[in-house]
Amino acid sequence: MTAESRVPQPAQPPPPPDPYVETATGPVSTADLGFTLMHEHVFVVSEGVPSNFPSVWDAEAYKKRAVDALRHLKERGVSTLVDMTVLGTGRNVPLVQQVARESGLQVIVATGLYTYDALPHYFETRGVDHMVDLFVRDITEGVQGTSARAAVLKCATDHAGVTPGVEKVLRAVAKAHRRTGVPISTHTEARSQQGLAQQDVLESEGVDLSRVVIGHSGDTDDIEYLTKLLQRGSYIGMDRFGLDIFLPTDKRVAVVARLCQMGYADRMVLSHDAAVYMDWFTPEILKALGPNWNHFHILDHVLPALRLAGVSEEHIQLMTVGNPRRIFENMSSY
Ligand SMILES: [Zn+2]
One digit per residue, pLDDT tens: the chain, 334 residues? 444 456 666 667 666 768 999 999 999 999 999 999 999 999 999 999 999 999 999 999 999 999 999 999 999 999 999 999 999 999 999 999 999 999 999 999 999 999 999 999 999 999 999 999 999 999 999 999 999 999 999 999 999 999 999 999 999 999 999 999 999 999 999 999 999 999 999 999 999 999 999 999 999 999 999 999 999 999 999 999 999 999 999 999 999 999 999 999 999 999 999 999 999 999 899 888 888 999 999 999 999 999 999 999 999 999 999 999 999 999 999 9
Residue 147, pLDDT score: 96
Q: How far is the CA of 110 from the centre of ligand 1 (A)?
A: 11
The pLDDT assigned to 91 comes to: 98
From ligand 1's centre to the CA of 280, what distance in Å? 13
Helices and strands of the chain, counted as H and E runs? 15, 12
In the reported structure, the alpha carbon of residue 42 is separated from the centroid of ligand 1 by a whole-number distance in angstroms of: 10
Q: How far is the CA of 224 from the centre of ligand 1 (A)?
A: 24
Please say whether the beta carbons of 261 and 238 come within 8 A: no
DSSP-derived secondary structure for 141-182: T-STTSSPPP-EEEEEE-TT-S-HHHHHHHHHHHHHHHHH--
Radius of gyration of the chain (CA): 20
What global pTM score does this model have? 0.94
| Distance (Å) from CA 334 to ligand 1 centroid | 27
C-alpha of residue 307 to centroid of ligand 1, in Å: 26
Residue 113 Cα to ligand 1 midpoint, Å, equals: 12
Write down the H helix ranges in the chain: 3-6, 49-52, 59-75, 93-103, 121-124, 128-140, 164-180, 194-204, 223-231, 249-261, 283-289, 297, 303-308, 313-317, 323-329
pLDDT at 288 (0 to 100): 86
C-alpha 85 to ligand 1 mean position (Å): 7
